[in-house]
Chain A
Amino acid sequence: DARVTQTPRHKVTEMGQEVTMRCQPILGHNTVFWYRQTMMQGLELLAYFRNRAPLDDSGMPKDRFSAEMPDATLATLKIQPSEPRDSAVYFCASGLVLGGSSYNEQFFGPGTRLTVL
């Protein structure tokens, strides 16, 4: 049963600390997305990668957020330094894009619930 996995599932930290969230996409998927969900903003895209290359990170505060894919099986989202307003659920999703296919189901991981005190 192929699934997107995310670690940690919950994280409580203090303002100013570094936070790293990890995502393992479904094996064989070539596209990875990071979304953030808050009560105020809803679900919003932070960044996405195709074949490990960042295609869009315009939704990410560049001064404190960074996203990488060290290899095809791992995506990371890092916040340094963290702030209380970063408290949210962070979802990773993966998908497979083939050629000109317009279909792109995205499989979501369980999310990381981050609380910054």
Chain B
Amino acid sequence: AQKITQTQPGMFVQEKEAVTLDCTYDTSDQSYGLFWYKQPSSGEMIFLIYQGSYDEQNATEGRYSLNFQKARKSANLVISASQLGDSAMYFCAMREGAGRRALTFGSGTRLQVQP
């Protein structure tokens, strides 16, 4: 079974609009962390935002927010006021448990921001 599922291979959004990228996860651990990374065409992996399983509030970082719904096991990324520079691949990832620190990644969503 997929640990991290990103069901949107590609998304389009108009500049200045908000967009939500979906991510669902599967784990039996009580302690886990959820991450979003951005990968522009240059290939680097850029950390965007983190949500811990025990965090009661949704994480926010500037224009990025994470809509964390624990019961549904979803951790959607919301980008507000999209910019052309937001065009990239976006990966959702999970770190399970307290001992294991490596990340398991989803397949990614390619976002294209249109002027």
Select one of A35, A48, A100, A111 contacting B101, CB under 8 A. Answer: A48
B98 within 8 A of A: yes
A45 within 8 A of B: yes
Closest residue of chain A to B44 (Cβ to Cβ) is A110
Task: Tell whether, in the assembled complex, residue B45 and residue A91 are in contact, meaning their CB atoms are under 8 Å apart.
Answer: yes
A62 CB to closest chain B CB (Å) equals 17
A37 CB to closest chain B CB (Å) equals 9
Task: Tell whether, in the assembled complex, residue B104 and residue A45 are in contact, meaning their CB atoms are under 8 Å apart.
Answer: yes
A89 within 8 A of B: yes
Contacts A31-B101, A43-B105, A45-B104: A102 and B47 contacting too (C-beta < 8 A)? no
- Residues of chain A within 8 A (CB-CB) of B46 are 108
Select one of B52, B95, B101, B103 contacting A50, CB under 8 A. Answer: B101
Binding site secondary structure of chain A: strand
Task: Tell whether, in the assembled complex, residue A104 and residue B98 are in contact, meaning their CB atoms are under 8 Å apart.
Answer: no
A52 CB to closest chain B CB (Å) equals 15
Give the complex CA separation of A44 and B33 in angstroms: 17
CB 8 Å contact bits of B90-103 with A (1 = contact, 0 = none): 01010100101111
A42 within 8 A of B: yes
Highest count of chain B CB atoms <10 Å: which of A33, A100, A108, A110: A108
Give the complex CA separation of A104 and B101 in angstroms: 7
A56 within 8 A of B: yes
A105 within 8 A of B: yes
Give the complex CA separation of A42 and B103 in angstroms: 13
CB 8 Å contact bits of A80-117 with B (1 = contact, 0 = none): 00000000010101010100101111111011010000
Give the complex CA separation of A81 and B48 in angstroms: 37
Q: Which A residues contact B (CB, under 8 angstroms)?
A: 31, 33, 35, 42-45, 48, 50, 55-56, 89, 91, 93, 95, 97, 100, 102-108, 110-111, 113
What are the 3 tightest A-B residue pairs by CB atom distance, in nearest-first order? A108-B45, A43-B105, A45-B102
